[in-house]
Structure 1
């Protein structure tokens, strides 16, 4: 019986594959990837990334009756657009299509809107499409009806897939929609149709479609000057705030006639999705912490385990509280949270529950946390580190960075006093920079002669000179206080030493120091170092608009900068890997949005699945090293939602870093 079932399974799979390949699909050319894109430190060079980037060399695809016929496709075929895309373009060519001009009668809609992998022609979907021009040959109302039928099959809440946000525009002849979408929706009794068709932008044009497309957006109209913002469109470009432990996901309202977003933070709504159209719900407490932060602070300290390691509670990346407090502290797990998360169906009162749960976290859960965590593996609720933390005075905001600097071997306590809030000296900063360089390269820096400086023979001064972190001769001035720009320059030079003496490379970047009101104070020699450190987020700015280059630097600020610099090569531009690299990796089948290997999706963003689809060749800026529920399961990169700037997380294996030549 089992063998028969297995044979049926195999035969069914073969039949599906045969059906998918029943038409001549245009294949990608064979490509041999350079060694730098494989191995244990894979990356793209700038040239390689540009070659694959979907935002470079974007194309316009014109589809006409003549071209379809020339491709050998029956003009009566109900799937002729699907087949044309399948048989005349490769996946990477489809990834570069920015504009399509559709100049055929009765085109099939699915390949232009089928972003759900379960649909028959999802694999030919042009995932970077921004502009879809329909010629007068297309019956617009019939076309839109078919769009509704296709989009209703896949009710993704929030995806940036083409024709699912206002990043994409449908251009139609004005004589077919003289009032634009407003003419359709003013007396509409079908709220689902409104919801589906307003997710993308629709504009009208007059005259010849080719002439209008050449002129672009300036030759079109929106036909909706009197917006009424009461439509609830749950699309990714209209998210005000993602769902967190503090709030459920919130969206801005949109115009009921054209879909334009109001972007008014005082006028938002929250959805609860059903099989049909999403329905609004009242905002309330949302119990959904995400314990991925590993912060070495006094508040999170549990104790010393049997292996002599320091053990800490994990923290929520959203509210900052540790897992114990989130579950047992009245300040965090208050009565409102109890009623929302556990109240219904619970026997007993809030006070009775808190008495029991507090005792458990202080006894049973504490003991489990101490013994479950080790240097090698995290526990479910805790993590362990070496018994090395700061004993000197440190401010709360710097405590975690300072303690991680101890863990990474960057601090020589003998060089520093007992107050890390004090101003840092040149020798102290040199010790941090030298330790950073040696840890990252795995090699000791050979110091210059003891006679190099007339005012010190200190080993850190001599190593700093040898690594070109400090000047190799003249007075060293070991006790001189450093400014913030001097400190940044020391660490920049240390990282450049690492680049010269290891395989570590850094991202290409564009400095943006002009955004600071005090950028004129930056010394000429410090502009390149400070530009690098600021762009990569390695040095904290002093306010939204100031970086204070001439201000004295404190010890803890320098240590925090060194701690962030330890991961400098993990920060910067990354690019989604492409279909032509399919042999270099494996996509698991549960990644629905990139089933056909030509896109990546934002992974569990620990605050709502946003389904932000990154087509192969799409670039993102990664803001830090990998993160995850445990250090040995760190499979996500943090990045920014391009629409609202919030932190989201992408699956790391789907991306390669871009390194400067």
Structure 2
């Protein structure tokens, strides 16, 4: 059985004051250490007892003279196992040995030292070391206890990259999963159950438990498919015409359902109370239902944004109940999240007259001190550039102030700061670590907001980072410590044949061709996805692409996605309607991509989303040729080809090899961009229930069953999260891909109607 030992930090030994460095002693500035060589099959216990043979310095062999001794040696890497179950060193495998030596404090020698946060520490800049002739990296340590790390490769083995024990995480295995989605749902079937196309007329509740019966009736779509509990999604307006007094057991009908976190009346926006209902009691019962049972300050609207959890939901009460309701609300600064309006006369006639005939219930003088943490009160979500902020609300009527100069930013006991979210896989030089023991390429993950890699961040730390990490001491010491830790982690990860950390990712290949920085990720992935014919493309990808090269890329794209060969002619790339001479332009690239993906749609189970053309918004759209209008609209809408600027497409700009490759690589995921519809009720147990909540835009903003969402281009490394727009703030957010069916022209196999 393989055992994996990773050590990311080395303990520092601090000497007492009596052993502080003596400036009169001779300074050791370098050591050449010789130890017994590690051998194949050596168990870890013996490897940690390798004998020290010599420590040569400018003053001779100080081991021989008894001045320097070995204190400790430890090993990191992938270990084998002997018949007794002890870890062993494997032939051909690399290991890092961490070696600590001791210089006699009572002798005549010491190292160069510096003061760090009041302690004497070895100056790593003025102390060099080798072990068995191999340069070692000196770690920060106490002056008389120099510690260093050195990489050994155990003799023997086959040579070259090492064989992986587990291939389940190989890129070629996982990319099929990365490209997968829930089964497609056709536009027809999606429309049949889309709640906003089938809203119910106002529902009148005039007896206790009437709603329960209605909610459990099956919904039959126009195609004859039955859906359980679907009626709850169609409810948008309700009149409650039943007393909540003692004659009905003091029950405020539907208040518990409105306040409960897991009810699926996602689209209810209007609740009208008839004069039979005690409005103050109803508001009190409704507010009480939103309180989390395990937390005094917790409210269900802090985690969900449908129903009456935001001001989009409105409670209508008789005009003569308005003052009493305001007086009650003055006692509770956590409510209401919803809007309250008053009506005159008969509730049924008032509801027919609509919202315009009602009056907003509001204070005579707002007091904006309430911290109501509902989705529509978010001022801004935190990114690496900005902290999280909420707007204040009126402590009486709940009106949101929406004043960016008056916000709050944290829940009790927490401080919400801007931070880098390192979850995107960007295969560029900035994120690159190196080649691991299996010959694969390891990268750090990067920030989903600004794109900088983890390693770049660690090399450019700020005092704010130190504060966020809760690290004490001086800022300079913090930077040095973090950089040393980073280097240790990187050294050790290259010893492995598998991914040692979820902060990193692996690709099997890395391009050595000349390319622009912006193209590195796309080109490296295109190489891994078999879209590159080296003999055809050459080694300078900044050059303009030829039609022959473009045809090569497109035919390889079709083969990658279909598993079958297809000629350029079969794909439609030889069509006489396309240009046959001159430079290849961006619009011609779009035409080639469009034809390749249409071929895939016709010959595989892949399908691409419907879209609305956005070409008219660009100032240069008139430059697009007739044969390129649909391809350009397609590639723009599905984000296969980015616009040149916010207002231009540059359709006549010459296309380079690197642009063709990055575009083809994006096309491998184009089927995942577009329209989606959330799962139907009961289809996913943890869509919204006590066992899980997968209906989130953000931690506070949510969507309901069968809601419709446009997903942007998937970020690499975040394949289970679809980028979209949070509806209240317009911010970029990420939703659970496993809770959403792609809406496509054809029904996917295995789609089960509920």
So what's the TM-score if we normalise by structure 1? 0.75
Q: Give 1:181 deviation, angstroms.
A: 7.0
**2:68 counterpart residue number:** none
Q: Is the 8 A contact 1:46 1:659 kept in 2?
A: yes
Is 1:104 the equivalent of 2:252? no
**2:375: which partner in 1?**
236
Q: What pairs up with 1:579-594 in 2 under 5 angstroms?
A: 579-581=681-683, 587=685, 593-594=688-689
State the match for 1:149 in structure 2: 288
**Residues 627, 637 of structure 1: 8 Å contact kept:** no
- Counterpart-to-counterpart distance in 1, 2:487 and 2:283: 61
1:253-264 correspondence to structure 2 within 5 Å: 253-255=392-394, 258-264=397-403
Larger Rg: 2
Matched, 1:356 2:500: no
Measure how far apart 1:543 and its partner are: 1.9
Give the aligned length: 544
- How far did 1:437 drift? 1.8
Counterpart CA distance in 1 for 2:622 and 2:340 is 46
Change (3 A) 1:519 1:251: farther
Q: Is the 8 A contact 2:531 2:553 kept in 1?
A: yes
Query: Partners in 2 of 1:54 and 1:551 — Cα distance?
Result: 44
**SS in structure 2 opposite 1:547?**
coil
Instruction: Please say if 1:136 is aligned against 2:264.
Output: no
Name the one with the larger strand percent: 2
> Is residue 549 from structure 1 mapped to residue 690 from structure 2 by the alignment?
no
Aligned partner of 2:599 in structure 1 is 497
What is the rounded CA distance, in whole Å, between the counterparts of 1:263 and 1:195 in structure 2? Answer: 17
Residue 526 (structure 1) aligns with: 628
| Equivalent position to 1:56, from 192, 197, 204 | 197
Question: Which one has a larger percent helix, Structure 1 or Structure 2?
Answer: 1
Contact 2:237 2:268 in 1 (8 A): yes
Shift of 1:172: 1.9
Give the match's secondary structure for 1:658. Answer: strand
Could you say what secondary structure the match of 1:127 adopts?
Answer: coil
**Residues 247/161 of structure 1: CA separation in 2 closer, same or farther (3 Å cut):** same
Q: Which residue of 1 aligns with 2:514?
A: 392
Distance 1:393 1:105 in 2: 74
Write out aligned runs for 1:121-520 (5 A).
Answer: 122=263, 125-153=264-292, 155-156=299-300, 157-177=302-322, 188=330, 190=331, 193-197=332-336, 199-224=337-362, 231-255=370-394, 258-273=397-412, 285-286=417-418, 288-326=419-457, 328-329=458-459, 331=460, 333-343=461-471, 346=472, 348-363=473-488, 365-372=489-496, 374=498, 379-394=501-516, 396-416=517-537, 418-446=539-567, 463=568, 465-471=569-575, 476-477=580-581, 480-520=582-622
Q: Does 1:621 align with 2:689?
A: no
Report what 1:650 is aligned to. Answer: 735
**Secondary structure at the residue paired with 1:438?**
helix
CA RMSD of aligned residues (A): 3.1
The question of whether the paired residues in 2 share the 8 Å contact of 1:234 and 1:271 is answered with: no
Task: Identify which range, 153-162 or 465-474, moves more after superposition.
Answer: 465-474
Q: Does 2:665 align with 1:601?
A: no
Q: Which residue of 2 aligns with 1:570?
A: 672
Identify the residue that residue 29 of structure 1 maps to in structure 2.
Answer: none
* Structure 1 SS opposite 2:723: strand
User: Structure 1, residues 249-278: CA drift from partner, whole Å, max 9, x if none?
Assistant: 21234455544445454543212147xxxx
Report the counterpart of residue 46 of structure 1 in structure 2.
187
1:472-513 deviation per Cα after TM superposition (whole angstroms, max 9, x unaligned) = 599833xx2122222211111110011111111112222222
Contact 1:626 1:652 in 2 (8 A): no
Please give the per-residue CA displacement for 1:288-309, whole angstroms capped at 9, x wherever unaligned.
5433211111111111112211
Quick check: 2:531–2:556 contact (8 Å CA) kept in 1?
Answer: yes
CA distance in 1, matches of 2:658, 2:397: 53
Q: Check the 8 A contact 1:151/1:196 in 2, yes or no.
A: no
3-state secondary structure, aligned to 2:230 = helix
For the 8 Å contact 1:102–1:133, the answer to whether it is kept is yes
Structure 1 residue 595: deviation in Å?
Answer: 4.0
2:662 aligned residue: 560
Per the TM alignment, residue 97 of structure 1 is displaced from its structure 2 partner at its CA by: 0.9
CA distance in 1, matches of 2:709, 2:614: 17
Residues 474, 617 of structure 1: alpha-carbon distance in 2 compared, 3 angstrom cutoff: closer
* Structure 1 CA distance for aligned equivalents of residues 421 and 478 of structure 2: 22
Q: State the 1:136 CA deviation.
A: 2.3
